[in-house]
A and B are shown apart, each in its own frame.
Chain A
Amino acid sequence: MIKGLWWKLTGLGLILYSIVAGQMIEVPELPVIHQTIRNLFYHVCMWFAMFTMFGTSLVYSIKYLTGNKPGNDIMASESVYNGIFFGILGLITGMIWAKFTWGDFWTNDPQLNGAAVSMMAYLAYAVLRSSIDEKAMRARVSAVYNIFAFMLLVIFLGVLPRLADSSLHPGKGGNTSTMQGLDLTMRLVFYPAVIGWIIVAFWILQIRARKRRLVQNVNQINK
């Protein structure tokens, strides 16, 4: 884990910059979405943070399966819980955006349904973990499941929406990508926002993992 305060402050600073600049900059007048395009700086960043967390959990799950170190299991599971947190934030910000552009909180869109299915797959991970009492078995089974869950995430959020005939989301179902429509001013806010949220996601992960280790140590002492 990275030590020191500098990277945490960098993350916070980048997000604060994106929050203020995201509201203050001039955005292109696009049909349908109009000023709601500003939500791009918040909504899309949640998905980037979520993907990074689930990717991290995949790496730690593989590391656990190859080395059987309990620390890797803690990191894998906490990454998943953190990813679920960011995924829920992504869903909420997306639903609010959808209400103001498409007129409904939830539409029958492959990207939306894919996001819901992926979140359910990861919620099932949490249920699976809580259903196994034996520590080593729980870690091993959930690590294997986590690898499958990540594959589902890639398929449901990365592949299927792109193959769909129609989608309301940009870059999906034959639509042009949002990134192609982003001007330089928006990119100067969007990229720092993504980096900032990913850094803060890692900070939250670090706090959660350290807390879990402390609790485990206390439990061991009490035994």
Chain B
Amino acid sequence: MVGEDKYLVVAMVMGIIFIGLGIYLYLIDRKISRIEQKQDELAGLNKK
């Protein structure tokens, strides 16, 4: 039982770290999308 608890703790710690990394990736992705959108808008304005 003690051994199983240890595995659970390891799984939880690794899971939390990975969820953090996933959120970080998502936020960067969203930020880049916003900048791309702005850049497209500026390029459109310059063409006009």
Contacts and interface: CB of A to CB of B under 8 A. Distances in A.
A24 B36 contact: no
Nearest to A20: B11
Given A12-B22, A23-B7, A24-B8, A207 B32 contact: yes
Interface string A190-215: 00000000001001100100110010
Measured as residues with beta carbon below 8 angstroms from the partner, the interface class of chain A is 10 to 19
A8 interface: yes
Given A23-B8, A23-B10, A217-B39, A15 B32 contact: no
The DSSP consensus for interface residues of chain A is: helix
A214 B8 contact: no
B25 A19 contact: no
Nearest to A17: B15
Contacts of B18: 12, 15-16, 19
Contact of B15 (A8, A20, A210): A20
B11 A207 contact: no
A208 B10 CA distance: 30
Contacts of B45: none
Given A20-B15, A204-B25, A207-B28, A214 B39 contact: yes
Given A19-B18, A214-B36, A8 B29 contact: yes
Nearest to B12: A20
Contact of A207 (B8, B15, B22, B29): B29
Contacts of B26: 8
Nearest to B43: A217
B1 interface: no
A217 B10 CA distance: 44
Contacts of B14: 19, 23
Return the 4 tightest CB-CB contacts between A and B, nearest first. A23-B11, A23-B7, A12-B22, A20-B11
Given A12-B18, A207-B29, 8 more contacts: A8-B29, A16-B22, A19-B15, A19-B18, A23-B11, A203-B25, A210-B32, A214-B32
